Amino acid sequence: MDAKHAPTALAWLERVNPLLETKEACDLMRCSRRQLGRWIASGQLKVIKCGSVKACKVLVPSDSIYEFLMQRLSVGKTRSKP
């Protein structure tokens, strides 16, 4: 996600249901399911897993997405261009 989409995404988070399903989180963050899975696996994005092992449903709290986006934006601002 780049910085120009962040204000729209953050404004949308203020009105959204506190828990997002995988598809909703991917749409909001403009990323693929695979990329979302990488962020979850690395621990960068906190999620709630519910259901059985075979039919696990991943719910992403909106405050977790907000924190993640703010971290990504702050990292992007500190990088210098070559």
Identify whether the C-beta of residue 44 lies closer than 8 Å to the C-beta of residue 8: no
C-alpha dihedral (27, 30, 32, 36), degrees to nearest 10: -90
Hey, what domains does the chain have and what are their CATH numbers? 3-77 (1.10.10)
Average pLDDT over residues 70-81: 66
Work out the widest C-alpha separation in the chain, in whole angstroms: 48
Instruction: Provide the pLDDT for residue 54.
Output: 64
Instruction: Provide the pLDDT for residue 3.
Output: 52
DSSP state of 82: -
Q: Is the pTM of this model over 0.95?
A: no
Helices 33-42, 22-29: crossing angle, 10 deg rounding: 100
pLDDT higher than threshold 80 for residue 11 = no
